[in-house]
Structure 1
Amino acid sequence: MERFDGHHSFAANDGSPVEFSCAMARSGAEVRLLFEPLDTGQTPPSQRAEGHRFVERLNEVLAIDVSRFLLVADLFAGRSSTGSFSMLCSAALRTGGSPLFKVYMNPAVGESRPQEVVAEAMSRLGLDEQWAFLIRQLGEGGFDSPHQGIEGLSLDLGGSPEARVKLYLQHSGCGVEQIERVARLAQDHQPDLFAKILDRLYDAPVDRLVKAPTTCLSFQANHREPVSVTLYCPLDPNLSDDAEASARVVDLLEMSAIAPEPFGALATAVSGADPADGRRFSWVSYKRPTDPVVTVYAGLDGSAEALR
């Protein structure tokens, strides 16, 4: 990690190339890592080249099926702008099973509009009907406006028929109504739930937040509608410090009937003895209302001094 102190990564709020997260449910918790594959010998690091090499190694060493990634990789071949990304990877470390690997791609890196890139990617992945459903529901301008834009596309790696394609939409300067308009497209949408969560997390209206929420729609080949929707809520910089962020996360856990004690131990490990002196917790997400999953994200290199 120290070798990349001079490289500012999109992976974590603090600029480090690894973001830690913990997904908590009523049944237990799972640890996850989002990371930017990098080569210590390259200056500056090449996000796309190293991302491709990492995916290739997954196939060579662990025999993970990466064929879906290869179908669309050339669509995301451009260079990312400063402060953005071209390709990231993640690993969910599951108890009693092999890690689930995902790859995240930025459709804004090339010359084509992100909406055009995603449309072609969905087609190559056999999801034409799912993309047509979104266009009918949200309109041609539903993905390319100042208030709602495509932030990324991710793929579950592996050959499982349950493997997901996930579309991330950022909601800048818009109210809860627009977020609900997207969320209600998913099969597991619960009316007004996201509005309730946003109201409990923030003191300010959603359209006035410093950093905007994101929704993620998950698709599977045998379902026309998105099978699920996830709400991502930025903690930093919308909340003052880790102490305030932790209090809001505990409130969300209790609302979801998830035991908060494991998060208490996690918060101590992440934030240290004085959480009011740091801002390592960056996001919290919520999905699956019938059996909720609340995930917290942290840049472990962050500190009050580094972020102010």
Structure 2
Amino acid sequence: MVVLRADSRTPSGMTFLDYGVSTLARLLDSAGMDVEQGTKVLRGMLTPWGEEQIGERPHWHSDVCADGSPIEFSAAFSRTCRQVRVLVEALPARPGTPAAQESAVELTRVLIQEFGADGDRLAKIADLFLPQENPRGFAMMHAVVLAPNRQPEFKVYLNPNANDSMTDVERTQEAMERMGFGKAWTAVVDYADRGFDLDRIVYVSLDLTDGPESRVKVYFRHYDATPEDLDARMEISAQHETGLLAEFCRAVTGKSGAVRRQPLVSNLTFATAGGHLPVSATLYVPLWVHAESDRTVRDRISSVMTDLGLPDSDYRALLDHVARRPLLDGRGIHTYASARVQHGRPRVTTYWSSELYDRYPPARYQRG
């Protein structure tokens, strides 16, 4: 296997498997986590499409990263724990949503049969998000969460705009009904109080686990929204700390007011244990369009984490293992940073693009 060093460019002939496994191994080793277990899981998630060589341009522009890369690494930090995560979109054998559905279904099967994921809830709604008639867009994205002394945990992200037979709103409401969260729909409507055109549903996510703590998340993309507005709306979650997210957004973007160039994203998280109200709300702030370089983003995140009492040295160490170039030479590594309150304590997650195709990706998802 070719080993990709943190200070090298993607060499000719490198595969997605080579890149993904070598990067994750460095991250897990730096974080003091089980390298063998984590890389075994990622190998399974990248099979068989990971054997493809990384070209100059993507043959399927993935929704995972701003530049079309199909692999995203992230790390979550709180005062009591740390996680390393990987999000992938299984590349289709040929361009097109039908082939992407086939790849997604196969990866789901691997996670269930080989790694113990639970697919019961997904089976209840699969026909909604993997339609046979005129499917469009991405089919499914899969993530693994790795943490010390815990088994890997899996989740999937689904496309509410899977075809024209239902709207994104109708499809999401039906999915929540089928999974037993029908009464929670009122909270979703109240949260999107400007209407679903401005507060657009863009993903539905669910844990591939069973039990009262297993989560369902509804993600929104907010057009022309101010951080203060979202901060106030997130009071729908009992764990929310008023004022935290608005200040977080200003600090990591260096700007005040509405975020228009790249929309803010948020989610509401529901679990059976929480009843019909969200157990948490999370804000995701786009980073790559709000700085001249990844070094500026790094410094902003470090400052925020220090102010929150979080381990910014751990963040910097992991970033060093993701970056394959000087941070001044681009702004495409940092995609988003998210923040929420968990059990009364702040939790920050940073998301890193593989940056396989573009160091300066443009803004995405403009309204209309």
- The 2-side partners of 1:225 and 1:121 are apart by 17
Alpha carbons of structure 1 residues 3 and 27: separation in structure 2 relative to 1, 3 Å:
same
Query: Corresponding residue for 1:293?
Result: 347
Query: Corresponding residue for 1:189?
Result: 240
Of 253, 262, 269 in structure 1, the residue corresponding to residue 314 of structure 2 is 262
Query: Corresponding residue for 2:305?
Result: 253
Query: Is 1:201 the counterpart of 2:255 in the alignment?
Result: no
TM-score for both structures, normalised by structure 1:
0.90
Query: Corresponding residue for 2:31?
Result: none
Query: Is 1:126 the counterpart of 2:177 in the alignment?
Result: no
Contact 1:12 1:19 in 2 (8 A): yes
Query: Corresponding residue for 1:71?
Result: 124
Query: Corresponding residue for 1:90?
Result: 143
Contact 1:115 1:143 in 2 (8 A): no
TM-score for both structures, normalised by structure 2:
0.76
Alpha carbons of structure 1 residues 209 and 241: separation in structure 2 relative to 1, 3 Å:
farther
My pick for the range that moved more, 41-50 or 89-98, is 41-50
How far does residue 206 in structure 1 lie from its aligned partner after superposition?
4.1
Of 47, 53, 56 in structure 1, the residue corresponding to residue 106 of structure 2 is 53
Query: Is 1:243 the counterpart of 2:295 in the alignment?
Result: yes
Of 175, 180, 186 in structure 1, the residue corresponding to residue 226 of structure 2 is 175
Query: Is 1:217 the counterpart of 2:273 in the alignment?
Result: no
Matched residue pairs, number? 301
Alignment-mate amino acid for residue 136 of structure 2? S
SS of residue matched to 1:13: coil
Of 158, 167, 173 in structure 1, the residue corresponding to residue 209 of structure 2 is 158
How far does residue 207 in structure 1 lie from its aligned partner after superposition?
1.8
Alpha carbons of structure 1 residues 227 and 172: separation in structure 2 relative to 1, 3 Å:
same
How far does residue 38 in structure 1 lie from its aligned partner after superposition?
2.5
Superimposed CA distance per residue, residues 140-164 of structure 1 (whole angstroms, 9 cap, x where no aligned partner): x65512x211011000002132100
How far does residue 215 in structure 1 lie from its aligned partner after superposition?
1.0
Alignment-mate amino acid for residue 184 of structure 1? E
Of 17, 29, 32 in structure 1, the residue corresponding to residue 70 of structure 2 is 17
Alpha carbons of structure 1 residues 36 and 205: separation in structure 2 relative to 1, 3 Å:
same
My pick for the range that moved more, 176-185 or 149-158, is 176-185
Alpha carbons of structure 1 residues 80 and 181: separation in structure 2 relative to 1, 3 Å:
farther
Superimposed CA distance per residue, residues 112-134 of structure 1 (whole angstroms, 9 cap, x where no aligned partner): 11111111000000011111343
Contact 1:23 1:30 in 2 (8 A): yes
Query: Corresponding residue for 2:80?
Result: 27
SS of residue matched to 1:237: coil
Contact 2:157 2:204 in 1 (8 A): yes
Alignment-mate amino acid for residue 238 of structure 1? H
Contact 1:183 1:215 in 2 (8 A): no
Query: Corresponding residue for 2:199?
Result: 148
Let me know the Cα RMSD of the aligned residues. Answer: 2.2
Superimposed CA distance per residue, residues 46-96 of structure 1 (whole angstroms, 9 cap, x where no aligned partner): 222211221122222233221000001111124334xxx231110011222
Alignment-mate amino acid for residue 74 of structure 2? S
SS of residue matched to 1:188: coil
Alignment-mate amino acid for residue 80 of structure 1? R
Alpha carbons of structure 1 residues 221 and 8: separation in structure 2 relative to 1, 3 Å:
same
Superimposed CA distance per residue, residues 174-203 of structure 1 (whole angstroms, 9 cap, x where no aligned partner): 223431243111111111211111122223
Alpha carbons of structure 1 residues 288 and 36: separation in structure 2 relative to 1, 3 Å:
same
Alignment-mate amino acid for residue 119 of structure 1? Q
- The 2-side partners of 1:296 and 1:176 are apart by 18
Query: Corresponding residue for 1:113?
Result: 167
Contact 2:225 2:260 in 1 (8 A): no
Contact 1:206 1:212 in 2 (8 A): no
Alignment-mate amino acid for residue 126 of structure 2? A
Alpha carbons of structure 1 residues 200 and 189: separation in structure 2 relative to 1, 3 Å:
same
Superimposed CA distance per residue, residues 87-115 of structure 1 (whole angstroms, 9 cap, x where no aligned partner): 11100112222111000001012211111
- The 2-side partners of 1:117 and 1:189 are apart by 27
Contact 1:209 1:238 in 2 (8 A): no
Q: Percent identity?
A: 26
Moved over 4 A (4+): 302-306
Contact 2:282 2:340 in 1 (8 A): yes
